[in-house]
Amino acid sequence: MDASIKVACSSTSWIFLSYSDERRHLLDIVFATLVLLKRGVDISNIYIFSSDPNAAGILSGLDNSNVYKLDQFDSVLASISYTHAFVTITGHGSPNGVGQNMRSADLSKGVRSIQNLEIGVLALCQCFAGVFNFSEAYSDPKLVVMGATNLSLSISSTVSVSTGIPGVDPLTWCSNLFMMHFFDWMRQPIDIDGDGHLTVLDAYKYAGAFAHDRVSKAKSEVFVEIQDLSAKLTQQRAHKATLEQAGLETLAVELDISSILTLMDNKLSVLHTSQEPWLLNANLSRKVELIL
Amino acid sequence: MITMPAEGMPELSMEVKRLVVDGVYSLFQIDNDSHSYMLVTGDRSKSYTISESGSVVSVSQPAQNVYPGAAHLVTFKLDNIHSMNFNFS
């Protein structure tokens, strides 16, 4: 192996960004934060940016004063100083990037604005992460950029995690699978490629392979669940028609119908999407050794 | 976070509870009134006032921006969820 670049996780800045109003994406960040705290990272080195107006309230249990609105991303990053930064994006992505105006070049510029930065690692876990691929990662400060998926959907699936921590045990949520497995590797790192070093490349391979494995195993079960949901949808639509004919209130059944459709939408993405991760600046990722 | 058994709020359908557990919907206990809850859809297009039994009392479109009860989240303990054995302790 080439000379390794040792990155002490405890003194790295851990930056999370989520463009979403769904609590599940904040729970992706909660899980990652619990892992990092367990690995000795101080909460003051963890920065969270979210578009969710309720993020501060929902995350209040973390006792983290670094919870910001999404539009503060550039200004906060330009004001901090770290030699190493690890940026993870969850929430919703689109073919246009993340949020209203964050495209690949904007993200790279924002991360590179961190004072004294030497290496930045970016893990893009949102849908359409591939629009951030082939970005300019080789000039200083160098970037390792990875995506959970290419030009398609990123898959989340429900998991329940035993944390042993009062108030969040178990932690159950529809988890971004690549991100969850990435931080699972951080919790218990494995030298996947057998080179004797625990590197970002190991974490990438672990997250990509285990996320895909989980999705593959879930497909047959999800197929059956979709049949059940389809039958319930037919039933509830008929029920709604009956209530309307009788001039009765339909609020509850309308909620049920929209909930069934939302569940079906989520499960169909698990059934029909194949998630293939990618990695930019792979040689550098093989050199970046994480000191946990 | 308040965790209710699967049988809690019996008039709320299992599909709604599943979306609450998944974190797609948010269910808050309304401050100063433990008998009323607010259910907010994932796209924030609607919010529902929910009674203690789980019945839908009213709907607002779109949902309001910030909820004072956001720290008082409610979830359910449902079966048939893939469990992973992580040991943080």
- What are the tens digits of pLDDT across the range A176-235? 999 999 999 999 999 999 999 999 999 999 999 999 998 888 888 889 999 999 999 999
Q: What's the complex ipTM?
A: 0.89
- Two structure tokens written together for B46: 């609607």
Cα–Cα distance list, A202 to A106, A189, A193, A274, B15 (Å): 27, 8, 7, 21, 38
Distance CA A66, CA A50 (A): 11
Does A55 score more than 50 pLDDT?
A: yes
Supply the pTM of this predicted model.
Answer: 0.93
Rounded mean pLDDT, B76-86: 69
HEC profile of A147-200: ECCCCCCCCEEEEEECCCCCCCCCEEEEEEHHHHHHHHHHHCCCCCCCCCCCEH
Mean pLDDT score of chain A: 93
pLDDT attached to residue B71: 61
Contacts of residue A285, Cβ cutoff 8 Å, sequence gap at least 6: A121, A144, A146, A199, A200, A201, A204, A279
Considering only the beta carbons, identify the residue of A61, A158, A255 that sits closest to B81: A158
Which residues from A are below 8 Å from B24, CB to CB? 22-24, 174, 262, 266
pLDDT attached to residue B89: 42
Interface of B with A in 27-46 (CB under 8 A): 39, 41-44
Distance CA A147, CA A122 (A): 8
pLDDT attached to residue B44: 80
Question: Tens of pLDDT along A92-134?
Answer: 999 999 988 899 999 999 999 999 999 999 999 999 999 999 9
N- to C-terminal Cα separation, chain B: 19
Rounded mean pLDDT, B57-69: 75
Does B28 score more than 70 pLDDT?
A: yes
**Left, alpha or beta for B10 (phi > 0: left; psi -120 to 50: alpha)?**
alpha
Contact by Cβ (8 Å): A249, B6: no
Cα–Cα distance list, A120 to A97, A102, A284 (Å): 19, 17, 11
Question: Tens of pLDDT along A266-281?
Answer: 889 888 888 899 999 9
Interface of A with B in 34-73 (CB under 8 A): 34-35, 38, 53-54, 57-58, 60-61
Q: Is the dihedral of CA B25, A266, A173, A26 positive or negative?
A: negative
Nearest CA in chain A to B69: A57
In degrees rounded to 5, what are phi and psi of residue A22?
Answer: -90, 135
Give ∠ CA A218-B23-A124 in degrees, rounded to 5.
70
Contact B41 A258 (CB under 8 A): yes
Rounded mean pLDDT, B48-73: 81
Contact A158 B26 (CB under 8 A): no
Rounded mean pLDDT, A127-152: 96
Of the pLDDT bands very low, low, confident and very high (cuts 50, 70, 90), residue B50 is: very high
B19 interfacial to chain A (CB closer than 8 Å): yes
